[in-house]
């Protein structure tokens, strides 16, 4: 690796580590602040009364929903929804693979649709901890 490439790679790696560390720190702080706010809200009597009423309404809504879902027509629609959600997920995974192959083979991060629209091919990279064997 040329020295400038190595230097650039080291700089990027350093930025990745510092940003990951900051994200972890902010996530912990955010969790603490959310817990503190939740504690404040739990201590407020008026809020608690309204929250309890809302919880009861949600429970009633859930019971009514379950009753409606016993209807054969509703069951049929739920099955169709589940099947289509699975198909959408599979299509998105396949499309992602095809787009990756397209970028590799064409060297371009753009593709034109049959109707003339030009789309940018974008990736959403993130860090995931490697499982220890």
Length of the chain: 133
Helix ranges (H only) for 1-133 are 3-43, 45-68, 72-106
DSSP string, 53-76: HHHHHHHHHHHHHHHHTTSHHHHH
Q: Could you give the count of Cα atoms lying within 13 Å of 39 in the half-sphere of its Cβ?
A: 6
User: Tell me, what's the pLDDT at 123?
Assistant: 86
Contact present, 103 and 113 (Cβ < 8 Å): no
List phi, psi (to 5°) of 111.
-145, 140
Element (DSSP H or E) covering residue 119: strand 118-120
The mean pLDDT values, 10 residues at a time, for the chain of 133 residues are 82 90 96 97 96 97 96 96 97 93 93 93 86 83
User: Tell me, what's the pLDDT at 1?
Assistant: 57
Assigned token pair, 110:
């753009």
Assigned token pair, 121:
């091919």
Distances (CA, A) of 33 to 5, 23, 26, 49, 63: 41, 15, 10, 23, 34
User: Tell me, what's the pLDDT at 126?
Assistant: 82
For residues 109 and 121, give the distance between their C-alpha atoms in angstroms, rounded to a whole number: 5
């Amino acid at each position: 690796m040329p020295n400038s490439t190595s230097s650039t790679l080291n700089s990027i790696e350093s930025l990745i580590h510092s940003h990951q560390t900051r994200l972890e720190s902010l996530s912990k702080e955010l969790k603490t602040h959310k817990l503190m706010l939740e504690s404040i809200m739990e201590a407020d009597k008026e809020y608690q009364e309204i929250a309890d009423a809302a919880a009861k309404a949600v429970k009633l809504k859930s019971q009514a929903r379950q009753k409606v879902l016993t209807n054969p027509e509703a069951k049929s629609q739920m099955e169709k929804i589940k099947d289509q959600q699975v198909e959408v997920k599979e299509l998105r995974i396949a499309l992602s693979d095809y787009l990756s192959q397209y970028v590799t083979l064409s060297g371009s991060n753009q593709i034109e649709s049959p109707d003339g629209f030009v789309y940018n091919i974008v990736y959403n990279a993130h860090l995931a901890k490697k499982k220890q064997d």
